[in-house]
Amino acid sequence: MTTAPTNGMPATGVVPATEGARGVPGGPRGGPRQLVSLDRAACLDLLATAEVGRLVFTVRALPEVFPVNFRLFEGSVVVRVGDTSRAVAGAVDAVVAFQTDDIDAGSRTGWSVTVVGHSSEVLDPVERARVLALPLEPWAGGPRDRILRIPLDRVTGRRLAVAPLR
């Protein structure tokens, strides 16, 4: 005999979909999708709307992905990290990636933007003061006094949208 777990989920851990779920026009998932590449300007516009992304770097040849809040600042993505963060060891003076997105699972639409650049630490006191004046308060507890800059050397993006009717 199978009993339902106490969290209200079916024993399989899968919640069954229902026809017309989420009220999306065109049925439960809104019809066919198309993946569209975004130009640099569109990517930068979308980057400016996001607050959280993922800093991607390597430590001892293994990938690390850290969720971080960020801001655009003078042609770069800037993030704050702590002195003891693994990001200091792997992401300072290295080629890194930064990714952010906005995905709507219900409508199966959204966008993703990736930045690749050779990161550096912001050390100049005047520039540090300007970055620290941004609305870039770290969400995680503890001091985050190191500022990483990721220049927008390579910017790519894609949007998943409902395909137009033909």
Q: What is the mean pLDDT of the chain?
A: 82
Measured CA to CA, the distance from residue 21 to residue 19 in angstroms comes to 5
Of the pLDDT bands very low, low, confident and very high (cuts 50, 70, 90), residue 148 is very high
* CATH number for the domain harbouring residue 101: 2.30.110.10
pTM of the model: 0.78
Which comes out higher in pLDDT, residue 30 or 18? 30
Inside any domain, residue 30: no
Of the pLDDT bands very low, low, confident and very high (cuts 50, 70, 90), residue 144 is confident
Inside any domain, residue 21: no
Average confidence (pLDDT) over 101-124: 95
Which comes out higher in pLDDT, residue 3 or 60? 60
Inside any domain, residue 106: yes
Residue 108 is part of which domain span? Answer: 40-162
Give pLDDT tens digits for 57-96. 999 999 999 999 999 999 999 999 888 788 888 888 999 9
- Amino acid 12: pLDDT: 35
Number of domains, the chain:
1
Measured CA to CA, the distance from residue 82 to residue 55 in angstroms comes to 14
Planar angle of CA 52, 117, 104, nearest 5 degrees: 30
- Amino acid 143: pLDDT: 74
